[in-house]
Chains A and B, each alone.
Chain A
Amino acid sequence: MRKFSKAEEEAEINMTPMLDIVFIMLIFFIVTASFVKESGLDVNKPPPNEQQKKDDDKKNILIQVDSSNRIFVNLRPVDIASVRANVERLHAENPEGVVVIQPAEDAFAGIVVEIYDQARQAGVYNVSIAEGRQ
């Protein structure tokens, strides 16, 4: 009986080198695993040929930012904090209108993102960012 069991144990494969490799692979993938979750806002820019049409359409809400970061909603100067209220009011007047943000080249990107966010808070999810005029 003892002899039989001895013979069976000798037939086993030595697992140690494989185990070493598997552990090293495991450690490599644990270390390189990066569960980075970026949060962000989708940007949709109108295609260039559509841009002119949108500018002419008075129903849209045009938000301009000049190079010293002043904000104009439909050409009226407003404060950054009241962008949301303005967009809400104009959106209630004509619900089909979209928001077009037109920042100047030198305006801060943070301001543009903040306006974008405020327009979305006001319930207008169709926001586009157009290239600005100086």
Chain B
Amino acid sequence: MRDHAQTEEDAEINMTPMLDIVFIMLIFFIVTATFIKEAGVEINKPPAVTAEKKDRASILIAITETDEIWINRKQVDLKSLRTNIEKLHAENPQGTVVVQADARSKAGLMIAVTEAVNDSGVPSVAVSTKEK
């Protein structure tokens, strides 16, 4: 009986190296998790050649072709945009804002949105583009 139990225990795989790797992967994904607040709508972005990658972007604001403003998967109007940005910015103070303006949306609205972002105290705001 004891012999039988002993052979069963010998057949076990050593889990320690796998555990090490799993823990390291876990820590990596916890550290890199940034939780970007997606706007929630598809936008036809204007093309640009001199665009730069924005690494710290955490809040995306979309302006659709029909001049609706979307932030954090909700449609908001221009007046309540500032409070929405302030709320999201408080969650991740290091993140910046990217405005995704549709190529056919109104320029005046885009300027009003960037102004609202500036007023809410976010230091950096960019306009989203696609590669040419």
Contacts and interface: CB of A to CB of B under 8 A. Distances in A.
A29 to B, nearest CB: 3
Contacts of A42: 52, 124-126
A41 B34 CA distance: 21
Given A37-B54, A38-B128, A30 B29 contact: yes
Contact of B22 (A23, A116, A132): A23
A70 interface: no
B2 to A, nearest CB: 8
A81 interface: no
Interface size, A (range): 35 or more
A112 B26 CA distance: 44
A45 B33 contact: no
A114 interface: yes
A36 B108 contact: no
Interface string A30-42: 1011111111111
Contacts of B114: 43, 45, 129
Contact of B29 (A19, A29, A131): A29
A30 B30 CA distance: 9
Contact of B54 (A23, A29, A34, A38): A38
Interface string B74-99: 00000000000000000000000011
B126 A111 contact: no
A53 interface: no
B72 interface: no
A113 B125 contact: no
Closest 6 CB pairs of A and B: A110-B103, A105-B108, A29-B29, A40-B126, A103-B107, A110-B46
Interface of A: 2, 6, 9, 15, 19, 22-23, 25-26, 29-30, 32-43, 45, 65, 103-114, 116-117, 120-121, 129, 131-132
